[in-house]
Amino acid sequence: MPVSLSLRARSAHGQPISELMARALANPRLISLAAGFVDSATLPQAETRQAFQELLSETLAAQQALQYGTTIGYTPLREAILERFQAEEGSHAADLHVDRVVLTAGSNQLLHLVTETLLDPGDIVLCSAPSYFVYLGLLRNLGVRAVGVDCDERGILPDALDEQLDRLAHAGQLARVKALYLVSYCDNPRGVSLSAERRRRVMDICLNSRYRPPLHVIDDLAYRELQLSGERAPSLFHFDPTGQQTILAGTFSKSFSPGMRIGWGILPRELVSPVCHQKGNIDFGSPNLNQHLMHRVLQLGLFDAHVQRLRETYERKLAVTVQAAQASLASLPGVRWIVPDGGLYVWLELPPSVPSGLDGQLFHRAIERGVLYVPGEYCYPDEGASKQRNTIRLSFGVPSPAAITEGIAALGDAIADVMA
């Protein structure tokens, strides 16, 4: 029977990555350098077991964990997150209060709630180009316009941000610009972290009083713990003197377990209730058991040692990825890559004559050669900075070092085939 779908459902498109994942699953011999998953071998089985056993062996704690929780989330975990954040960020974060910490089912939910709370259809979020494609899909779904701002190899260009804002002002659209979204550490898709100086300049622009309503800055910290090189700059919040324009979106997905799916936000005071109202009407609280479990993990001191092991694993895998690129791609004219500061991704640029998309020759050739990647074009906002179709996101999270080497060699062969 034909279903009568809502306007939103009719205008929604699935995530392009779903199609890629289906291909990977359909052919287990394909080496997937596409998925942004963490390395399964690093998942914290022993730590989770220990925390789980302790939690469930105490009757009162177990009863609390197995019951519904509150919309805003389990307070001891919120306190622990805040304490960690304050210890890392120092004095500016010192007067933050736990009332501003909200727990969600992954940081994607936090991004969703915040976006729905701040923006109406037709409003604008500025994003670096390229940007995290799941968030771009979320914006499309909500009818929000994503306008891309140019980047160089060190992230978003403050001058380009200023110019984009000027263009929008000339077009009479400044009042529709409600937020800037950045993944400021080891971003997805390029693995690049913003320097302290760039953070300061970006924030100076966004906090400029000409923006009415104020332009919120969403700092997505998903890969903050996985920065492997360079000095870790403070978050964008540090450069927000009132601390009321920056929204921090964190997660334990990359640093501990995506299966737990625990995200958190530190929000401007005025946003906490509106965001919780949205959340209350959706799920009135994220899975409580996971929050209690994560709190145990932190309490038992199991988290930091785990992150340290993760960093060692990814450091090795990143080195293998860069070596493989050097061995298999460096001799191909016009092929270059960014060596990331950490995270899970390496961004490749091909000659402009070699598009990487699903309709192009290269994608099919790569699959024939046994390797799957994410075409970079998915990572570009629909408006603003132009889409670079000759780009590729590679992930070194899931495959073994041997598979990374083999996959990148296969990709090199596919590129050579297409360029011949």
Ligand X SMILES: Cc1ncc(COP(=O)(O)O)c(C=O)c1O
Tell me the C-alpha distance between 136 and 301, whole Å. 36
- The binder of ligand X chosen from 47, 219, 220, 377 (CB under 6 A): 220
Whose Cβ is closer to ligand X: residue 190's or residue 296's?
Answer: 190
Is 337 a binding residue for ligand X by CB under 6 A? The answer is no
Whose Cβ is closer to ligand X: residue 55's or residue 222's?
Answer: 222
Whose Cβ is closer to ligand X: residue 188's or residue 356's?
Answer: 188
Whose Cβ is closer to ligand X: residue 71's or residue 184's?
Answer: 184
CB of 353 to ligand X, least distance (A): 30
Residue nearest to ligand X (CB): 106
| Listed ranges 105-113, 115-123, 327-335, 369-377: which one lies at the site for ligand X (CB under 6 A) | 105-113
Whose Cβ is closer to ligand X: residue 188's or residue 291's?
Answer: 188
Closest by CA to 144, choosing from 119, 171, 169, 118, is 119
Q: Burial-class residue 97 by CB neighbours within 10 Å (0-12, 13-18, 19+).
A: exposed
CB of 216 to ligand X, least distance (A): 17
Strand partners of residue 103: 264
CB of 261 to ligand X, least distance (A): 6
Q: How far apart are the two ends of the chain, measured CA to CA in Å? A: 50
Whose Cβ is closer to ligand X: residue 149's or residue 410's?
Answer: 149
Is 106 a binding residue for ligand X by CB under 6 A? The answer is yes
- How many residues bind ligand X (CB under 6 A)? The answer is 14
Closest by CA to 77, choosing from 307, 302, 296, 303, is 296
Q: How far is CA 64 from the centre of its chain?
A: 31
Is 298 a binding residue for ligand X by CB under 6 A? The answer is no
Whose Cβ is closer to ligand X: residue 128's or residue 188's?
Answer: 188
| Listed ranges 253-261, 271-279, 284-292, 376-384: which one lies at the site for ligand X (CB under 6 A) | 253-261
Is 253 a binding residue for ligand X by CB under 6 A? The answer is yes
Is 340 a binding residue for ligand X by CB under 6 A? The answer is no
CB of 63 to ligand X, least distance (A): 27
Is 287 a binding residue for ligand X by CB under 6 A? The answer is no
Contact string 171-210 vs ligand X (x = CB under 6 A): ------------x----x----------------------
Q: Burial-class residue 230 by CB neighbours within 10 Å (0-12, 13-18, 19+).
A: middle
Is 36 a binding residue for ligand X by CB under 6 A? The answer is yes
Q: Output the six-digit token pair for 170.
A: 């000339």
Is 251 a binding residue for ligand X by CB under 6 A? The answer is yes
Contact string 56-95 vs ligand X (x = CB under 6 A): ----------------------------------------
106 and 160 Cβ atoms separated by less than 8 Å: no
Is 222 a binding residue for ligand X by CB under 6 A? The answer is yes
| Listed ranges 208-216, 258-266, 281-289, 375-383: which one lies at the site for ligand X (CB under 6 A) | 258-266
CB of 106 to ligand X, least distance (A): 3
Q: What is the residue type of 188?
A: N
Tell me the C-alpha distance between 60 and 66, whole Å. 10
Tell me the C-alpha distance between 112 and 315, whole Å. 31
Site for ligand X in 114-143 (CB under 6 A): 132
Q: What sign does the dihedral 367-372-377-382 (CA atoms) show?
A: positive
| Listed ranges 173-181, 237-245, 250-258, 390-398: which one lies at the site for ligand X (CB under 6 A) | 250-258
| Listed ranges 39-47, 49-57, 232-240, 251-259: which one lies at the site for ligand X (CB under 6 A) | 251-259
Length of the chain: 420
Closest by CA to 375, choosing from 5, 17, 71, is 17
Is 258 a binding residue for ligand X by CB under 6 A? The answer is yes
Binding site for ligand X (CB under 6 A): 36, 106-108, 132, 183, 188, 220, 222, 251, 253, 258, 261, 263
